[in-house]
Amino acid sequence: QSVLTQPPSVSGAPGQRVTISCTGSSSNIGAGYDVHWYQQLPGTAPKLLIYGNSNRPSGVPDRFSGSKSGTSASLAITGLQAEDEADYYCQSYDSSLSGSKVFGTGTKVTVL
Amino acid sequence: QLQLQESGPGLVKPSETLSLTCTVSGGSISSSSYYWGWIRQPPGKGLEWIGSIYYSGSTYYNPSLKSRVTISVDTSKNQFSLKLSSVTAADTAVYYCAKETHDFWFDPWGQGTLVTVSS
C-alpha cells in the first residue's frame, strides 16, 4: 500500500557516500508536504533521523542530510560507518487518502 | 524525557479484536501540541500508519483499516489505546505507538510489541 517508493537496497564501503531516493506524487511530496526520514536498526523501533525535509534532531550526526525537489526526496549519508547499517524509511502526508500519513517502502543500507 | 510503552496480549485469535494500550510517561498526553499515533510493521515488511488521535478525542484513520479501527484516549491515565476488530493472520505485526507532531512526523516511538494472530 506504500505510495512512496524507495530502492530496496543500497550499499557502500566505509567512508563512502550513499543516497536513498524517495519518490512520491502530486498528492504527497509534490503537493508540498514535508518528508521525514527514520532509521531502524535491527530489532529496534524506528528513530527519527530527518524532519521537515532537511532538519536533524539533536544528537543525529551531520553525516546525515536530507533534501526534497518536486515529487521526490533524498537522504544522503556521507562518511558511511558500520553502525549506519540499517533500514531507512521516508514518510510524508498524502492529501488523497483522507489525511493519511504514508511511509516509503524502505531501503536496506549495507556497509561493505 | 518523553517515553512511550505499548502493552497488551501478544496472541489474538482470528476474528477477534486486538487491543493495545500505550502509556505515556515524562510528559502529558493532553498537550495541545501533539497527536498520538499507532504504526505497525508485519514481520520482514515495511511500516504502515494505522491512525492517530488528539487529546480531545479527534481521530484520523488509515482508510484501508478505518472500518476495523478504533483509537481512544484516557487523559486521566496518560494513555491511548488501539482496537482492531476481525483480525486475520495479515494483522500479525509489531505494533508501535508514537508521538506525532502537527507537521506529521513521529518522535519518539515506543519499543513496539509483537502481536500474532493465530488460533
Give the model confidence (pLDDT) of B7-22 as tens digits.
999 999 999 999 999 9
Identify the band that residue A68 occupies on the pLDDT scale cut at 50, 70 and 90: very high
In chain B, residues 61-100 whose CB comes closer than 8 Å to chain A: 61-64, 66, 96, 100
Query: How confident is the model over A6-57, as pLDDT tens digits?
Result: 999 999 999 999 999 999 999 999 999 999 999 999 999 999 999 999 999 9
Rounded to whole angstroms, the Cα distance separating B16 from B37 reads: 22
- DSSP H/E element including A76: strand A72-77
Please name the residue that has the C-alpha cell 524507495.
A6
Partner residue facing B110 (CB), from A1, A45, A52 = A45
Tell me the mean pLDDT in the region A84-104: 92
Which residues are CB-neighbours of B21 under 8 A, at least 6 positions away?
A: B6, B7, B8, B79, B80, B81, B82
Beta-carbon count within 10 A of B77 CB: 12
pLDDT of residue A1: 59
Residue from B52, B106, B113 whose CB has the most chain A CBs within 10 Å, to mutate: B106
The chain B residue lying nearest A38, using CA atoms, is: B106
Among A112, A92, A88, A90, smallest CA distance to A102 is for A92
Q: Does B42 touch chain A (CB under 8 A)?
A: no
Contacts of B93 in chain A (CB under 8 A): none
Q: How far is CA A19 from CA A63, A72, B22, B100, in A?
A: 12, 13, 35, 26
pLDDT beneath 50, residues of chain B: none
pLDDT at B55: 85
